Amino acid sequence: MPHKATARVPASTTNLGPGFDVLGLALQLYSTISLEEIDKGREIEVTGVDVDKLSKDERNMAYRAAHMVFDKCGYAPKGLRLVLRNGIPAIRGLGGSGTAILGGLLTANALCDNPFSRAELLDFATEFEGHPDNVAASLLGGLVISMMQGSHVHSIQLDCDSDLRVVVAIPNFSLSTKAARGVLPKMVDFSDAIHNVSRSSMLVAAIATGKLEMLSLAMADRLHQPYRTSLIPGFDDVAESAMRAGALSVALSGAGPSIAAYCTTSTDEVGSQMSQAFRRNQISCDIKVLPIDSAGATVQMSRS
């Protein structure tokens, strides 16, 4: 393996309200992962955002994912150098772990001359991550609908209106997916299940047809947000402030704590009002106005 592989992987926001563990949307916020074989040993460099929350040893997700590919194709590298330039806030509901996993899989696959298809890599990533929504969106770009059949992921990608922007309020605290799943009920009411099926179906149709005025109704959720928002001080204030400022709809980003407002206009005002609402609840936050990434993850080869 005389070359270096470099992957650029977009962040993602998932669920979009009612599409729990099914819907994902790729965003123009990126992490970059480079991988090359060296003569011996292990070198892992991590720079960028939230580096204190990211492993710099063999527990690093990108490194572990790379070894998943090597193990599956029967290759034992003499040594590896991995560089992760992290652009995605960690444990904030923006798919940061998924981007690291995909980066490791894609670069290792490229160094091995691409023995696995992207569909197979998506299965590997889902096996690693535990659910397909983040990794499918980051891999494919756009809006992605995913479902599981055994251990295989079926995904369909849809392009989005080029005017759609996601204004993300990223609070200064983290919330693990495990903790956010821990507050969910083990059983749901039949009427709530019907509610979410109808809204998630309408949401996909609204984005596919450009009828974005339907988002405020279509993003209503009863399966996870009523429970998870209790973990996020000021959620209702932030959401209501975004809507008053001109957002089409508001939802948790993934498991949270980030809050995503969907807009075609007034993005700066929406972001300002979301930030002020968090401050009223004694929480500081970063605001990012993010277009949709339509290309998904990319990989380039270069000489070491």
- Over the chain, what is the mean pLDDT? 96
Secondary structure E strands in the chain: 3-14, 23-38, 41-48, 79-86, 143-149, 152-158, 165-171, 249-252, 259-263, 285-291, 298-303
**Strand-pair category, 249-252 with 165-171:** unpaired
pLDDT of 201 over the 80 cut = yes
Strand partners, 32: 8, 85
Q: What is the pTM of this model?
A: 0.95
Q: What is the pLDDT of residues 208-266, one digit of tens each?
A: 999 999 999 999 999 999 999 999 999 999 999 999 999 999 999 999 999 999 999 99
Domains and CATH numbers, the chain: 3-158 (3.30.230.10), 165-291 (3.30.70.890)
How would residue 167 be classed by pLDDT, with cut points 50, 70 and 90?
very high
Q: What is the pLDDT of residues 122-153, one digit of tens each?
A: 999 999 999 999 999 999 999 999 999 999 99
Q: Show Cβ contacts of residue 208 under 8 Å, excluding neighbours closer than 6 positions.
A: 158
pLDDT (0 to 100) of residue 176: 86
pLDDT (0 to 100) of residue 178: 86
